């Protein structure tokens, strides 16, 4: 039983995990507030901001065309790594 739990936990950690965005340490990341402020300036509406286990900045929200989006960014250079449209 214990083995099963370990198996499922590690399975989900590897298989279901979101993208990995950078190996750089947190000191080299763009400041979180500045990052979000920049997105808002570009026309994004942010519903939820997260720092993921895979070292990404992730937002749930709407882009400037009011499309519902979920985007993973590289926190070191603010580039989009992965985007889910709804």
Partner 1 sequence: MLNKRNGDPIKPFSIRVLHLILVVSLFLLVFVFYDGDKIHRFLGYAPLLVFALRSLWALIDKNKKSLKSLSSFPILANLTHFSIWFFVLLAGLSGHMMTIDRFWGEDWVENFHDYSVKALMLLTVIHLTGVFYDSFRKKRPTWRYIFY
Q: Give me the residues that bind partner 1 (CB under 8 A), please.
A: 4-5, 8, 12, 15-16, 47-48, 50, 60, 70, 84, 86
Question: Can you point out the beta strands (E) in the chain?
Answer: 45-51, 57-62, 68-73, 80-85
Nearer to partner 1 among residue 36 and residue 70 (C-beta): 70
Smallest separation (angstroms) from partner 1 to the CB of 24: 25
Nearer to partner 1 among residue 24 and residue 80 (C-beta): 80
**Of residues 34, 28, 77, 82, the one with CA closest to residue 54:** 82
Smallest separation (angstroms) from partner 1 to the CB of 61: 8
Nearer to partner 1 among residue 44 and residue 70 (C-beta): 70
Q: What does the alpha-carbon distance between residue 41 and residue 62 come to, in Å, rounded to a whole number?
A: 13
């Amino acid at each position: 039983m214990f083995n099963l739990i370990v198996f499922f936990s590690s399975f989900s950690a590897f298989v279901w995990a979101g993208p990995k965005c950078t190996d750089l340490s947190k000191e080299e990341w763009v400041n979180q507030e500045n990052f979000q402020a920049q997105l808002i300036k570009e026309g994004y509406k942010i519903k939820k901001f997260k720092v993921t286990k895979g070292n990404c900045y992730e937002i749930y929200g709407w882009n400037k065309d009011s499309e519902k989006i979920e985007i993973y960014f590289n926190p070191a250079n603010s580039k989009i790594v992965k985007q889910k449209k709804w």
